[in-house]
């Protein structure tokens, strides 16, 4: 068993008499289980370990885990059967990031992109084999495309942002992503066959930006550029979406220049934020007395 700390929750065990459970007690149990799963985020944690660490009986732990899974906060590996944090945990954590978080750092740039282009601008982050949209900023053009909104998740390679992030990965990671998402792409994204995505990746690398030619929704086009962190890893993407007539070959260089400018600014902010975080002094513990 891993080093999950015991978080005993009043449950009474399998043989105890059942008493009504208040909403507060149920919420505390769910929160405690979520924290236990989060504490083993790399290797995951098994049901038996969760039962031992929480003090809950097995049926109760399983019932609460199923509720967390329905909400996307926890997911279970199909092979190992171990539990990991789910995609919605990532979204919530990212949205709750501190003032050095990429969401806050990108806001001004997204506003400039929307204003300068007149189209919708987006910030998406990479989450393993998926992208998650964190923010949408509307432009002034009256005809808009509503394919993407904050909180939506797509496999890598889908949409302008997803394609930009896929193309920014080394070839072995591109193939790993295509293999991992093969079933989902085949059933839910029929226009994104692996051979087509490989061709779009090659085009993206050649031209320097990604173009989604209406593959998610017909006549709704997207353009994206990957954002790299201080270590050079592609962690996010800035993108624009518009109707097809506003993203033709004659306008693409103009939009790409706007995106490239904001990506450069955001990457500089991420680098500076990382430096400031590393230099931030560790707060000293103070006595329990209140300061005047």
pLDDT at 47: 94
pLDDT at 92: 76
User: Do residues 69 and 32 make contact, with C-beta atoms less than 8 angstroms apart?
Assistant: no
User: Do residues 83 and 44 make contact, with C-beta atoms less than 8 angstroms apart?
Assistant: yes
Pairing of strands 210-212, 153-155: unpaired
Q: Which residues of 65-91 are buried (b: 16+ CB within 10 A; e: fewer)?
A: beebeeebbbbbeeeeebbbbbbbbbb
* Residues facing residue 137 across a β-bridge: 121
Ordered structural domains, the chain, with CATH = 23-85 (1.10.10.10), 97-278 (3.30.450.40)
User: Do residues 86 and 68 make contact, with C-beta atoms less than 8 angstroms apart?
Assistant: yes
Q: What is the pTM of this model?
A: 0.67
Q: What is the DSSP letter of 100?
A: T
Residue by residue, pLDDT tens for the chain (292 residues) are 444 444 434 333 333 333 445 567 788 889 989 988 887 656 789 999 999 988 999 999 999 999 999 999 999 988 899 999 888 887 777 666 554 588 889 999 999 999 999 999 999 999 889 998 989 999 999 888 777 888 788 999 999 999 999 999 999 999 999 999 999 999 989 999 999 999 999 999 999 999 999 988 888 999 999 999 988 999 999 999 999 999 999 999 999 999 999 999 999 999 887 666 666 554 444 444 333 3
Place of tokens 């890598």: 156
> What does each C-alpha distance from 157 to 10, 121, 141, 228 come to in angstroms?
46, 18, 27, 17
> What does each C-alpha distance from 5 to 23, 39, 53, 60, 92 come to in angstroms?
24, 9, 6, 19, 24
């Amino acid at each position: 068993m891993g080093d999950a700390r015991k978080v005993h929750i009043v449950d009474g065990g399998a043989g105890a008499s059942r008493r009504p459970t208040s909403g507060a007690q149920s919420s505390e149990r769910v929160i405690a289980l979520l924290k236990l799963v989060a504490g083993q985020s790399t290797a995951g944690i098994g049901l038996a370990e969760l039962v031992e660490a929480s003090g809950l009986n097995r049926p109760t732990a399983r019932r609460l885990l199923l509720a967390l899974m329905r909400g996307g906060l926890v997911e279970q590996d199909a092979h190992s059967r171990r539990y990991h944090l789910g995609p919605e945990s990532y979204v919530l954590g990212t949205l709750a990031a501190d003032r050095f978080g990429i969401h806050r750092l990108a806001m001004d740039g997204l506003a400039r992109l929307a204003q300068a282009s007149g189209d919708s601008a987006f910030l998406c982050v990479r989450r393993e084999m998926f992208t998650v949209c964190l923010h949408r900023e509307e432009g002034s053009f009256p005809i808009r495309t509503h394919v993407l909104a904050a909180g939506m998740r797509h496999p890598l390679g889908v949409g302008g942002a997803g394609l930009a992030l896929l193309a920014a990965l080394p070839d072995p990671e591109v193939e790993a992503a295509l293999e991992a998402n093969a079933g989902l792409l085949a059933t839910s994204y029929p226009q994104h066959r692996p051979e087509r995505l490989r061709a779009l990746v090659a085009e993206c690398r050649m031209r320097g930006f990604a173009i989604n030619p209406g593959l998610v929704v017909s006549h709704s086009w997207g353009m994206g550029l990957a954002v790299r962190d201080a270590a050079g890893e592609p962690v996010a993407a800035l993108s624009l979406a518009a109707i097809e007539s506003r993203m033709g070959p004659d306008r693409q260089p103009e939009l790409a220049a706007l995106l490239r400018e904001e990506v450069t600014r955001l990457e500089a902010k991420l680098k500076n934020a990382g430096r400031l975080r590393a230099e931030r002094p560790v707060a000293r513990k103070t006595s329990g007395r209140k300061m005047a």
